[in-house]
Structure 1
Amino acid sequence: MANTHNLFISHSWQYSNAYESLCNLLSNRNYFYYNNYSVPKDDPVHTNGTDKELAQAIYNRLRLCHVVLIMGGVYSTHSKWINKEILIANNSFSVPKPIIGIKPWGQTKISSRVKENAVEIVGWNTESIVAAIRKHSNA
């Protein structure tokens, strides 16, 4: 049986079409299995609305993950929650969660925050993304 990779796909709900495209790309890749612990727009985390509760909920999901994927569009630099996810991945575990930055399809620029914190940056290419996940995952 092939390994199943536990992924947290960090993304901006404002750009959820890129998130959905990435999930479809991974789901359609033969011989690649993953669990998605992300917080998609259509299935938000239910809290009483405090930042502390949402940060805890994100921590609880990241705790289960092998790798964090971040859509690296320049908007990521200015996203409060993507930045919190980076901080949680880097600082909340005895071994930081590896962050893989993904350049959105057709873009050449990538968020400086993502670039500074990623163990690897890959293009919008199924094989590059899957190879990076396999390389940095401890699944």
Structure 2
Amino acid sequence: MRTFNLFISHSWNYTDAYSKFVNLLNQRSYFSYKNYSVPPENPICGARTDKQLEAAIEQKIRACSVVIIMAGVYSTYSKWINKEIAIAKRLGKPILAVKPFGAQRISSTVRNAADAECGWNTESIVSAIRSLV
């Protein structure tokens, strides 16, 4: 079974959505992945400036096969999500936009950057990841 290297971009203001997303992937049979994201409980230590943090995030994205962005409307205004999109584009990494559970709208910034888009459904997410690699 192939292991997918994933960078799951998210806002720390919405950690509950991030945790639920990771749980969806963890509970999926016959799907193996390594999580390269930066959750609040495991921040990048040693980065003292935005430039150092950006370089550390770039190293994480460089190792990934897909960058996943939870595409809530808040993403449009997130400085870091926009930087992660730019890094993914520069490195040629495919971007998957995931519509948050129950959301009616998604970020146009993320939608325009995405190579694929899917809803908040385990099978849709896994299928989209596999199609991008």
TM over 0.5: yes
Q: How many residues matched?
A: 133
For residue 114 of structure 2, the aligned residue among 114, 118, 124 is: 118
Kept in 1, the 8 Å contact 2:99–2:119? The answer is yes
Deviation at 1:131, TM superposition (A): 0.1
Q: Which structure has more helix as a fraction of its residues?
A: 2
Structure 2 segments unaligned to the other structure (5+ residues): none
| CA distance in structure 2 between the aligned counterparts of 1:49 and 1:69, rounded to whole angstroms | 25
Deviation at 1:46, TM superposition (A): 1.2
Q: How does 1:94-133 map to 2 (within 5 A)?
A: 96-133=92-129
1:79 corresponds in structure 2 to: 78
CA RMSD after TM alignment: 0.7
Query: Given residue 132 of structure 1, which amino acid in structure 2 is its aligned partner?
Result: A
Displacement after TM superposition at 1:48 (Å): 4.0
1:36 corresponding residue in structure 2: 35
**Deviation (angstroms), 1:22:** 0.5
TM-score for the superposition, normalised by structure 2: 0.98
Task: Give CA deviations for 1:71-119 in whole Å, capped at 9, x if unaligned.
Answer: 000000000000000000001x2xx100000000001200011000001
Unaligned runs of 5+ in 1: none
Asked whether the equivalents of residues 8 and 37 of structure 2 are also in contact (C-alpha less than 8 Å), the reply is yes
TM-score, structure 1 as length reference:
0.94
Determine the C-alpha separation between the residues in 1 that align with 2:114 and 2:33.
Answer: 20
Answer yes or no: is the 8 Å Cα contact 2:47–2:56 preserved in 1: no
Q: Percent identity?
A: 56
Q: Quick one: which amino acid aligns to residue 104 of structure 1? A: P
Distance between the aligned counterparts of 1:49 and 1:11, measured in 2?
Answer: 20
Q: Once superposed, which parts of structure 1, at least 4 consecutive aligned residues long, lie more than 6 Å away?
A: none
